[in-house]
Amino acid sequence: MTIFFLFLCYFLDGDGMKKEIWIFILFLIVSFFMFSSFQEEDKLVVGVQKKSEDRGIFVSYIELGNYLRGKSADEGKKVIKQMISNIDDLGFNMVLLQVRTFSDAIYSSDIYPWSGVISGVEGEDFGYDILDVFIEYCHKKKMKLFAWINPYRIRGDEDISDISDKNPAYSYLNTDVVYVGGGVYYNPAKEEVKDLIVGGVDEIVSHYDVDGIMFDDYFYPNDEIDLKDFQAYQEKNPDVTIDEFRLMQVNDLIRRVHDVCRQYDVLFAISPDGNIENNYQKHYADVKLWGSSSEYVDYLMPQIYYGFYNETKAFVSVLEEWEGIATEVSLFPVLAFYKVGAVDTFARSGSEEWLKYDDIIMREIILTRNLRQYQGFSLFRYDYLFNSELETSTTMAEVRNMKKILN
């Protein structure tokens, strides 16, 4: 741009004063194009792909239910093998597998019951260990597997009738250890809850050859669950606010989980809300502490589910915020493939972006590669990449464009 500017100036005719005026006008024109409304794209610098780049695909309980429910062990294993092949063929090398969604398990556990997502009835053995099969096929393909856990959720609605007596939550029903309201959740402030979650992680890392453990962004479920615990704590610690109390409870759990993972040389990651303010105002997830210390997590995997034109939270500015936070841990952004070809209502004036463009994910990957603490990226989630019923011309074009930079 500067060379172009000087070149034009050299060939301008007229006396000195006129030339100076033309130079000033050209300066304004060039400045306009350089700092126009599409500033996000101006920052699109091609990042150098690192040899150790991790590329993950999230496989949630939704996929597990859709693809494995009602199938025999042999049929299920064939489905899993095909899922791993699909991910590998696309050029990805990591699976983030949801192994515990509702205080249950898709693996053989002495703590949690077999998941009703697969069998239809919680506690009913579906005849094979899904986590073990995923690990086997992933490692044959030289792919990593992270076991994804939702630590506090017991149910997504308030129906407790199908919670089996094999579920550790069962014995806590009608106590302040379990809260029913907008769902069913463990109380994060209870020591028995922390012991339960840490013990569940210990069971996985000591019995399965997983490469990592991952928690998602579901931490504190609401503002009522621990009020009695806070009041009791505040009697001895009157200067502590309820926000500080809640951050303390989550931090204590996270540190303990990290210690267990470290004992078995397993990585620990957290995938928090991409909106940093939400982590403090809603989830009580102390992401600034986790990112600036080696004592809590190994990876931060923020869910940066924004486009370049998002009026409220634009991708580049959010990415820069996370880079400022993750100074001591690896940064592994999660990108919103599920938004491809859809209206993004909360983006306001940028709501049509994912419909209009078919190279957003590609451009976002390029940008993430410039992060100082970059470890890789991941996409949410499997179905939107491989389910033909969700396939559109936009998603197909987005995949084609993305593959151009997956060497």
268-308 tens-digit pLDDT: 999 999 999 999 999 999 999 999 999 999 999 999 999 99
Contact 284, 250 (CB under 8 A): yes
User: Is 9 inside any structural domain?
Assistant: no
**How far, in Å, CA of 387 to CA of 393, rounded?**
13
Which candidate, 138, 137, 112, places its Cα nearest to that of 125? 112
Lowest mean pLDDT among 17-26, 72-81, 211-220, 221-230: 17-26
User: Is 362 inside any structural domain?
Assistant: yes
50-106: pLDDT as tens digits = 557 999 999 999 999 999 999 999 999 999 999 999 999 999 999 999 999 999 999
Which CATH number do you get for residue 182? 3.20.20.80
The pTM (predicted TM-score) of the whole model is: 0.89
User: Is 107 inside any structural domain?
Assistant: yes
User: Is 6 inside any structural domain?
Assistant: no
User: Is 43 inside any structural domain?
Assistant: no
pLDDT of residue 318: 98
b (16+ CB within 10 A) / e for 125-159: ebebbbbebbbbbbeebebbbbbbbbbbbbbeeee
User: Is 134 inside any structural domain?
Assistant: yes
User: Domain of 246?
Assistant: 55-403
246-272: pLDDT as tens digits = 999 999 999 999 999 999 999 999 999
Query: What residues does 145 pair with on adjacent strands?
Result: 95
User: Is 263 inside any structural domain?
Assistant: yes
**Total of domains in the chain:** 1
Helix (H) or strand (E) holding 186: strand 184-186
Q: Is the pLDDT of residue 230 over 50?
A: yes
User: Is 197 inside any structural domain?
Assistant: yes
